[in-house]
Amino acid sequence: MQGAPPPWDDTEQFTAEQPPPSVQVAGGFVPMNEGSFLTGTTQMAPGQIIMLQPPSGAPKFIGILAIIWGVLNFGGSLLGFLTPMPALLMVLNVVSLGLGGATIAGGVMAMNYQRRGIMLLLLTIVLGTVVGGVELTNTEALYGQMLEDEQITQEEYDLVTANSGLVEGVGLVLLAVCNGVCGLIIAIPLLVNNNGLDDSKLFGAI
C-alpha cells in the first residue's frame, strides 16, 4: 500500500484545481512552475517578461568630467577679475563665470541621471562657443583698448594685430571643432541604450 508522501518531500503535484503558486513582480504575477526560477530585475509587460539591466554609467562619468571642467572655468574667470580689462572683456568674463557655474550645476544633474543636466551642458557649450567667437572677432578692438589704457606696449599691440585676420579665422575654426567634439561627448548619454535618464526638461520641450 502506497502511503502519502512524507511532509519533508519538496515535490508537489499540481492539478487544474490546484494551480502552481505564483510570485508577484512589477506589473503582475509570474507562475512558479517546477524547475523555474527568476533572476535579476524583472518587469511584467502584457504577455512577456522584460529583463532590466543596471543603468549605464555614462551620465555619471560625463557629469564628473563636467564638474571638473566647470570648476576650472569658474576659477579662471575669477582670476581674470584680478587684472584690469576693457569693458567688453569684462562683460565676456562675467558671462564665462556664469557658464562655469552652469557647467557645474549641469554636471551635478547628470550625475543624478537627470536629463535636463545633459541639456544644460549642451547649452553651455553653445553659449561658450558664442562667447569665444565674440572675443576672437574683437581681438583688435580689445587690444586697442588695452593699448590706450597702457596695459600693453605698442610693440605688443603690433605683434598681436599683425595677422589678426588669419588668427581670427584659424581661432574660429578650432573653436567650432573643439566645442563640437565636446558637444558630441556630452551627448553620449542621450545616444546609449538604457541610459537611466529621467524625463526632466530644461525648458518646455527640451
Query: What is the number of structural domains in the chain?
Result: 2
146 with 184, same domain: the answer is: yes
77 with 126, same domain: the answer is: yes
43 with 63, same domain: the answer is: no
Domain presence at residue 2: no
**What's the pLDDT at 146?**
83
Prediction pTM value: 0.72
Domain with 34, as residue range(s), is 22-52
Cell numbers representing residue 5 in the block: 508522501
| pLDDT tens digits for range 154-183 | 888 888 788 778 878 899 999 999 999 999
Round to whole Å and give the CA distance between 70 and 89.
Answer: 20
CA angle 187, 192, 195 (to 5 degrees): 95
Q: Which residues are within 8 A (CB) of 189 and not within 5 positions of it... i.e. 6 or more apart?
A: 56, 58, 59, 62, 110, 118, 195, 197
| pLDDT tens digits for range 28-61 | 444 444 444 444 444 555 555 555 678 899 999 9
In the predicted structure, residue 194 carries a pLDDT above the cut 90:
no
Domain presence at residue 118: yes
Backbone φ, ψ for residue 175 (5° rounding)? -65, -45
Cell numbers representing residue 168 in the block: 581670427
Q: Which of 5-9, 51-55, 97-101, 185-189 has the lowest mean pLDDT?
A: 5-9
Domain presence at residue 142: yes
Cα–Cα nearest to 58, from 196, 187, 193, 189: 189
